[in-house]
Amino acid sequence: MKAGKNGDSRTILVVDDDPDIVMLLRYNLEKSGYGVSIAVNGNEAMDEVRHLPDLVLLDVMLPGLDGWEVARRIKTDQRTRHIPIVFLTAKTSEVDEITGLGIGAVDYLTKPIRVKRLLARIESALRLADANAGVLPMPHEPVTIGPLTIDVRNYSVRVDGTEVQFAKKEFEILACLASRAGQIVGREELIRSVWRNTIDPANRSLDVHITKIRQKLGAYGNAIETLKRVGYRLKT
Partner DNA sequence: GTCCATCCTTAACATATTCGTAACATGTTG
Partner DNA sequence: CAACATGTTACGAATATGTTAAGGATGGAC
Residues at the contact surface with DNA, assessed by CB under 7 A: 5-7, 165, 167-170, 187, 195, 199, 203-205, 207-212, 214-215, 226, 228-231
CB of 39 to a copy of itself, least distance (A): 19
220, interface contact from a copy of itself, DNA, none, CB < 5-8 Å by kind: none
The residues, ordered by sequence, that sit 6+ positions from 45 with a Cβ below 8 Å of its Cβ are 13, 15, 39, 56, 58, 62, 65, 70
CB of 197 to DNA, least distance (A): 12
CB of 165 to DNA, least distance (A): 6
CB of 11 to DNA, least distance (A): 12
Between residues 61 and 167, which has the closer beta carbon with respect to DNA? 167
Write each residue from 34 to 73 as x if it is in contact with a copy of itself (CB under 8 A), else as -, in one continuous string.
--------------------------x-------xx-xx-
Between residues 5 and 142, which has the closer beta carbon with respect to a copy of itself? 142
Between residues 7 and 101, which has the closer beta carbon with respect to a copy of itself? 101
